[in-house]
């Protein structure tokens, strides 16, 4: 066990909950429940932010899409329905170059619904990895860097109303979210091993993917 593990007391949160009374409201709350221990001021601050016109519109339309499409619409259709209700006209797609085929299919579907579509691939601009401070050893799987900041900047320049992430790498997606001026949703979460279905590793964490759990080493 390292020093950080020894000195850090585990703080229980929703990540440790198996009750979920905040949703079901038919059971007792666990002793560490975030709901029952939450500062009233913090809760109210979040409620007040929904008074913002755009925030309220997003929440209202997201709820309608969830309600109307519950167990009926796939995520692609949910995105289309949400974008229509938000009255978005131009949709940006920030895509991994490895998913260009899927991106072309998505663009065709979106255009069939009347949306203007602008896509930008992660390698656009062909910036060498070493130019942005990446370890040269990483060039073994390709010399050019992904450029999520450029992807966001290009879509900002194009004044997209709504952006879709298509399989950006872990961390690269984070940078895209950080610099995108438009709202963003994710259609594909990159997972090369799991066929872009990352939750599959969690479903098998008790069996085939038990190796994901780090062994605890005692000194």
- What are 100-155's pLDDT values in tens digits? 999 999 999 999 999 999 999 999 999 999 999 999 999 999 999 999 999 999 99
Using left for φ > 0, alpha for ψ between -120 and 50, and beta otherwise, residue 58 falls in: alpha
Integer CA distances (angstroms), 100 to 52, 88, 107, 182, in order: 36, 23, 10, 22
pTM confidence score:
0.89
> Given this model, what pLDDT does residue 8 score?
64
172, 145 contact by CB (below 8 A): no
User: In the chain, which segments carry CATH 3.40.50.1860?
Assistant: 52-212
Confidence of residue 1 (pLDDT cuts 50, 70, 90): very low
Percentage of the chain exceeding pLDDT 70: 95
Q: How many CA atoms lie within 13 A of 122 on its CB side?
A: 25
> Which fold is adopted by the domain 52-212?
Rossmann fold (3.40.50)
Beta carbons within 8 Å of 79's beta carbon, 6+ residues apart = 164, 185, 187
The 162-166 sheet, strands edge to edge: 116-121, 90-95, 162-166, 183-188
pLDDT confidence of residue 5? 52
């Amino acid at each position: 066990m390292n020093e950080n593990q020894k000195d850090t007391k585990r703080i229980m949160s929703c990540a440790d909950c198996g009750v979920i009374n905040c949703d079901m409201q038919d059971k007792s709350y666990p002793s560490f429940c975030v709901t029952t221990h939450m500062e009233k001021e913090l809760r109210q601050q979040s409620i007040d932010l929904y008074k913002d016109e755009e925030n309220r519109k997003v929440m209202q339309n997201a709820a309608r899409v969830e309600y109307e499409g519950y167990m009926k619409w796939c995520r692609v259709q949910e995105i289309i329905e949400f974008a229509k209700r938000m009255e978005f006209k131009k949709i940006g797609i920030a895509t991994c170059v490895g998913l260009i085929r899927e991106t072309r299919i998505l663009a065709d579907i979106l255009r069939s619904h009347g949306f203007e579509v602008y896509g930008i691939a992660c390698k656009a601009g062909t910036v060498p990895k070493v130019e942005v401070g990446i370890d040269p050893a990483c060039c073994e799987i390709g010399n050019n860097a992904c450029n999520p900041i450029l992807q966001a900047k290009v879509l900002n320049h194009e004044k997209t109303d709504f952006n879709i992430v298509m399989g950006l790498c872990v961390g690269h997606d984070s940078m895209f979210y950080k610099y995108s001026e438009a709202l963003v949703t994710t259609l594909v979460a990159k997972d090369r091993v799991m066929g872009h279905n990352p939750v599959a590793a969690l479903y098998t964490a008790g069996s085939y993917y038990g190796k994901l759990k780090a062994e605890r080493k005692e000194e």
